[in-house]
Chains A and B, each alone.
Chain A
Amino acid sequence: DIVMTQTPLSSPVTLGQPASISCRSSQSLVHSDGNTYLSWLQQRPGQPPRLLIYKISNRFSGVPDRFSGSGAGTDFTLKISRVEAEDVGVYYCMQATQFPQTFGQGTRLEIK
């Protein structure tokens, strides 16, 4: 199985300041079709997960442009340019390049 490792596991951030979450995979996520199926999901308290970013850097419909994704191969990053109160929650990276699909442990974003 591909192991997804996120850092940090907890991130206290001041409102209006940027935040960054890293995700590293135990092997390359480049699929044989040339795509890299790395996505980011947000889970607000008491809510189901919500897709934010797919294929490394593509924002899903309705996702604010303060969220951005980057990376390649085995190293990926989710950035929030200016954190807002509604961004509080847990963020997960997920790979769909290889079965079984696997998630990172989650990074809890909280406001200082």
Chain B
Amino acid sequence: QLQLQESGPGLVKPSETLSLTCTVSGGSISSSSYYWGWIRQPPGKGLEWIGSIYYSGSTYYNPSLKSRVTISVDTSKNQFSLKLSSVTAADTAVYYCARGDRAETNAFDIWGQGTMVTVSS
């Protein structure tokens, strides 16, 4: 079945760019029925939607992060990526990638295990 796996550095310095990749296995990322998103969770806190990318290439970002976020897709590698620039300690969190179902649920129905990213010098 479809699985998602996040990868990337676990430690990023303040003011640098956080870069994460989500590898999709067991299915194609190139389906118009789905969209792909990033959600984060600071330690001991709740969930925050970062943004999503659709089959058409359209992207939607949380306005609170919009100026610093870029989400892109690499169909040749069946991956999508997150870049978050000018990070601070407030960006320390577990970052999840997830699949959204446009056709049926319009919810994130499959999640990766998450990857912890710490922002510290």
Flag the segment in A10-18, A19-27, A76-84, A96-104 that touches B. A96-104
Per DSSP, chain A at the interface is loop
Interface members, chain B 86-107 (any A CB < 8 Å): 96, 100, 104-107
Distance in angstroms between the alpha carbons of A101 and B112 in the assembled complex: 18
A54–B103 Cα gap in the complex (Å)?
12
Q: Are B108 and A51 in contact (CB under 8 A)?
A: yes
A103 and B107: CB pair below 8 A? no
> Whose C-beta in chain B lies nearest to the C-beta of A90?
B46
Query: How far apart are the CA atoms of A92 and B46 in the complex, in Å?
Result: 8
> With contacts A48-B111, A48-B112, A49-B96 known, is A100 near B105, CB below 8 A?
no
- A105–B45 Cα distance when bound, in Å, is 8
**B60–A99 touching, CB < 8 Å:** yes
B21 → A minimal CB distance (Å) = 17
Q: Which of B47, B60, B111, B112 contacts A103 (CB 8 A)?
A: B47
Chain B 47-86 residues near chain A, CB threshold 8 A: 47-49, 52, 60-64
Using C-beta atoms within 8 Å of the partner chain, give the interface range for chain A.
20 to 34
A100 touches B96 (CB 8 A): no
Partner of B105, one of A48, A58, A104: A58
Tell me the complex Cα distance, A34–B62, Å: 24
Contacts of B63 in A (CB 8 A): 1, 100
A48 CB contacts on chain B under 8 angstroms = 96, 111-114
Complex alpha-carbon distance, A50 and B111, angstroms: 7
